[in-house]
Amino acid sequence: MITSVKIFNYRIYLQELLIILFCYLIVEKCFAWFFTQNAYVNVVAVKALSLLIYGYVLIDFKNLHWKEKIYVGLFSVLIVKLILQSFIEYQVPFRNFEIYTVIFPIVYTVFIKSVMRKMNADLLGFVAGFYLVTYLVFMALFGHRFSFSLEHIEPNSGPFSGDTRIIHAHSIFMMIIPFLWYLNKFITRQTLQSFFLFALCFTIILIHQHRSVWSSAIFATLIYFFLVLRTNKKALTGIASLTVTSFLVTIIALYYVSSISPGLLDFFSNRFAEILNPSTESGTGGFRIEQREMYMNFIREKPLLGWTFEGYSLPNPLVDWWDANTGHHFHEGFIEILFYHGIIGLLFKFSFLIYIAYKAFSSNISNRAVVLIPFCLSGLIFSLSYVAPLIYWGHVGMCLYYLETNKNYKS
């Protein structure tokens, strides 16, 4: 007898559940925090999981599709090159393990895609519900010090932002998945429940004030509307209903907010304006620009293969508050991969997104892909501000799976 459970209207077998939880969703920092409230332990656990996943992919190599075999083969060549370099220069096999984790998302993407194909899974609705429930539970347990201000608080490790917004941008960025999922459900079904959940996700993204997430969500929404209008002839009716409903709700919300807290609207307006002019903000926007300009000088010196271990050991040229030999703590994903692995590493890692962008113009994409393509491509915007977390690349793998299947599942 095969045991199964029903979660978020998705019936899932026990074996699938264990794989999804312990190889996929456990990588989400907020979810992992429920089990081990120790950032160091969680980081070590993810590194160990990375090795196990890579080993599994090598064992399962014969069952991969030919494109996946090419990715895993090229990844393995790069890993062998790094191990030999580490042995020759430092007499250890894994010098600065973070150098390896920068490119591990390549094989992790392939792993998630291949596992979902084996399970013939339809997990997008499950994942959307997972993120919404995880957020609500996390805030109930750890979000008591949340406020709209940006004052520094403790703790600032693990999934925490280090200020009174509580949750790091990495985790709020993932809320774009349920945001798009429930937006799509409202446009296709026009139910009050789907609009309420869409509005809830919108509010969550808004109140946490991560401008990187705001800009990513706007970009994702624009792509979504482009895709849904092109692939669903009935979408215009749903979009019209969304426009009218959103307008009425916004008018009511603005009335109550302006009455209760008149300065709040100006506060959010100023925060939003900083997206267009990040160099004038008092936060990290100016630092990101300065970091980008500084490290581009290094990247120009070794543009193809990057600095790898030598770069990791270089003193931080901008600040001195990070410990020596802990890397350079990059804010931008593009700069990180260019610095450590050069243009070749950049093209290798982000080639998945290039392919997804190409498939966005295809005439035959599933309704699940219509939701996931915008989220995945919004990672390009998010990577201008942060290094996208590993779980993001798992979602990229899920998107590739839906692009491969081309099935229009029921919502």
- 204-238 pLDDT, tens per residue? 999 999 999 999 999 999 999 999 999 888 899 99
How many C-beta atoms surround the C-beta of residue 58 within 10 A? Answer: 11
- pLDDT(124) > 90: yes
Place of tokens 């630092």: 287
pLDDT at 11: 75
Q: Bin 20: left if φ > 0, else alpha if -120 < ψ < 50, else beta.
A: alpha
pLDDT at 1: 43
How many C-beta atoms surround the C-beta of residue 52 within 10 A? Answer: 11
Phi, psi of 246 (to 5 degrees): -65, -40
- pLDDT(177) > 70: yes
pLDDT at 149: 81
Q: If pLDDT is split at 50, 70 and 90, which confidence band does 16 have?
A: confident
- pLDDT(193) > 80: yes
pTM attached to this predicted model: 0.94
pLDDT at 262: 81
Helix/strand/coil (H, E, C) string of the chain?
CCCEEEECCEEEEHHHHHHHHHHCHHHCHHHHHCCCCCHHHHHHHHHHHHHHHHHHHHHCHHHCCHHHHHHHHHHHHHHHHHHHHHHHHHCCCCCCCHHHHHHCHHHHHHHHHHHHHHHCCCCHHHHHHHHHHHHHHHHHHHCCCCCCCCCECCCCCCCECCECCCECHHHHHCCHHHHHHHHHHHHHHCCHHHHHHHHHHHHHHHHCCCHHHHHHHHHHHHHHHHHHHHHCCCHHHHHHHHHHHHHHHHHHHHHHHHHHCHHHHHHHHHHHHHHHCHHHCCCCHHHHHHHHHHHHHHHHHCCCCCCHHHHHHCCCCCCCCCCCCCCCCCCCHHHHHHHHHHHHHHHHHHHHHHHHHHHCCCCCCCHHHHHHHHHHHHHHHHCCCCCCCHHHHHHHHHHHHHHHHCCCCCC
Burial of residue 37 (CB within 10 Å: 0-12, 13-18, 19+) is middle
Tell me the two tokens of residue 218.
């706007």
pLDDT cut 90: percent of the chain above it: 62
Strands 10-13 and 4-7: antiparallel
For residue 315, say if its preceding peptide bond is cis, omega within 30 degrees of 0.
Answer: no
Residue 105 and residue 390 in contact, taking contact as beta carbons nearer than 8 Å:
yes
Tell me the two tokens of residue 389.
């977390």
The pLDDT tens digits of the residues spanning 273-284 come to: 877 776 655 556
Residues 6+ apart with CB under 8 A from 247: none
Burial of residue 315 (CB within 10 Å: 0-12, 13-18, 19+) is exposed
Q: How far apart are CA 68 and CA 95, in angstroms?
A: 27
pLDDT at 325: 67
Which sign, positive or negative, has the C-alpha torsion 324, 382, 127, 145?
positive
- pLDDT(2) > 70: no
Please choose, from the candidates 66, 61, 31, the residue with its C-alpha nearest in 3D space to the C-alpha of residue 45. 31
The pLDDT tens digits of the residues spanning 279-315 come to: 655 556 677 888 888 889 999 999 999 999 888 888 8
Residue 27 and residue 77 in contact, taking contact as beta carbons nearer than 8 Å:
no
Average pLDDT, the chain: 89
- pLDDT(323) > 70: no
Mean pLDDT for 68-81 is 96
How far out from the chain centre does Cα 28 lie? 9
Q: How far apart are CA 22 and CA 26, in angstroms?
A: 5
Tell me the two tokens of residue 15.
């074996």
Q: How far apart are CA 375 and CA 381, in angstroms?
A: 10
- pLDDT(391) > 90: yes
pLDDT at 310: 87
pLDDT cut 70: percent of the chain above it: 93
pLDDT at 324: 65
What does R_g of the chain's alpha carbons equal in angstroms? 22
- pLDDT(329) > 60: yes
Find the range with the poorest average confidence among 101-110, 205-214, 267-276, 385-394: 267-276
Which sign, positive or negative, has the C-alpha torsion 222, 207, 389, 325?
positive
Name the residue type at position 290: E
pLDDT at 405: 84
Q: How far apart are CA 101 and CA 106, in angstroms?
A: 10
Distances (CA, A) of 244 to 119, 140, 249, 332: 40, 33, 9, 38
Tell me the two tokens of residue 55.
């080993």
- pLDDT(148) > 70: yes
How far out from the chain centre does Cα 315 lie? 29
